[in-house]
Amino acid sequence: MVNMKAENYPPIETIIKEIQERYNIVGREAELRMCIAAKLAGKHILLEGDVGVGKTTLAHAIAQYFSQNLERVDGDERYSSARLVGHFDPPMVIDKGYTWESFVPGPLTVAMMNGSILFLNEINRMPEGTQNVLLVAMDEGMVSIPKLGVVKAKEGFYIIAAMNPQEFVATTPLSEALRDRFAWVRLEYQSEEEERSIVAVKTGVTDEDVISLVVRVTRMTRDWPELRRGSSIRGALDYASIMQFMDKNNPEAWVSAGTMSLATKVELEDGVEKRVEDVIKEIIIQAMEDEGFP
């Protein structure tokens, strides 16, 4: 990945505004500023943050703004280096031998051959051996294909990786060597005001009472002592979308919609014997009292 020339692009603040407007991104000025500067400087980006903070949204927005294709990989503990680089198709090998015709390129090879962006979602769920394949690709812009030779990256090849915090279950710490090759950007949950704006933009809900309460409830789950993990903004989006079709003057409707929306997005703390729906109900009732709902 070569450095881009700054004079070929508008000022970063102009790019930020364009990306926000084109792709309906609320806020995130600081994070966008860092990502754009890293992209223009040719430094691969590692986005770190909780589930649902917008890592994927930023990756797609950057790719679209710079008019690049995006090859996406969703990491898990079974994602092998062969899946990342590519593999030979056995029937084709029998017919053609070990040739390019019998080789099925993986997303890393495709991105390098096409000068695309490789988006590695949940990179820290990949095995260490798979992660290590990236080192030469990032350092030297090349990947070695056994029996075929070396693929050199076309101009434009770029990596954006995303990871959940290391305390999440089933994550593999990135090696020091791999972390050293990324520019790092942390994404935190956004402010309450920005989250209300996100709900309005993404759901089309216009009722300020609904938006305010669903965001309040969702944010409360993140600090509730009986929950180990609270909900991301996705919980508020689902809650608002469902609640607009229910009776907002009925407390039971709020509890029903909130339970549907949040039960799959929160996790009880160890030792809590209550059911998750009972904890959610307590949070909703407290939020309604705080907001002055009847």
Q: What is the DSSP string of 211-245?
A: HHHHHHHHHHHTT-TTEEE---HHHHHHHHHHHTT
284-293 contacts, C-beta under 8 A, 24 or more apart:
284/217, 284/254, 284/255, 284/258, 285/251, 285/255, 286/220, 287/213, 287/216, 287/217, 287/220, 288/213, 288/251, 288/254, 290/216, 291/212, 291/213, 291/216, 293/213, 293/251, 293/254
Q: pLDDT tens-digit profile of 221-254?
A: 999 999 999 999 999 999 999 999 999 999 999 9
Paired strand residues for 46: 161, 184
How does pLDDT run across 15-48, given as a tens digit for each residue? Answer: 999 999 998 888 889 999 999 999 998 899 999 9
Instruction: Name the pLDDT band for 168 (thresholds 50, 70, 90).
Output: low
pLDDT band at residue 105, thresholds of 50, 70 and 90?
A: very high
- Weakest mean pLDDT among 76-80, 120-124, 229-233, 239-243: 76-80
CATH code, 6-187: 3.40.50.300
With contact defined as beta carbons under 8 Å apart, do 79 and 130 qualify?
Answer: yes
CATH code of domain 192-291: 1.10.8
Q: What is the pLDDT of residue 280?
A: 95
pLDDT score for 262: 96
Element (H, E) at 21: helix 12-23
Cβ neighbours for 172, distance < 8 A, ≥ 6 positions apart? 77, 124, 125, 126, 127, 128, 131
Query: For the residues 73-91, what does the mean pLDDT come to?
Result: 87
Query: What's the rounded Cα separation, in Å, for the pair 28 and 33?
Result: 8
Q: What is the mean pLDDT of residues 89-93?
A: 87
- Looking at the DSSP bridge assignments, the partners of residue 161 are 46, 120
Distance CA 243, CA 245 (A): 5
Which residues have CB under 8 Å from 69's CB, separation 6+?
63, 114, 116, 117
Instruction: Report the pLDDT value the prediction gives residue 39, as an integer from 0 to 100.
Output: 92
Rounded to the nearest 5°, which phi and psi values hold at 185? Answer: -130, 125
The pLDDT of residue 192 is 94
Residue 263 has pLDDT above 90, yes or no: yes
pLDDT of residue 282: 94
pLDDT band at 294 (very low <50, low <70, confident <90, very high): low
Q: What is the reported pLDDT for 15?
A: 92
Task: Give me the residue spans of the domains in the chain.
Answer: 6-187, 192-291
- Summarised one tens digit per residue, pLDDT across range 129-163 is 888 889 989 988 989 888 888 999 999 899 999 99
pTM for the full model?
Answer: 0.81
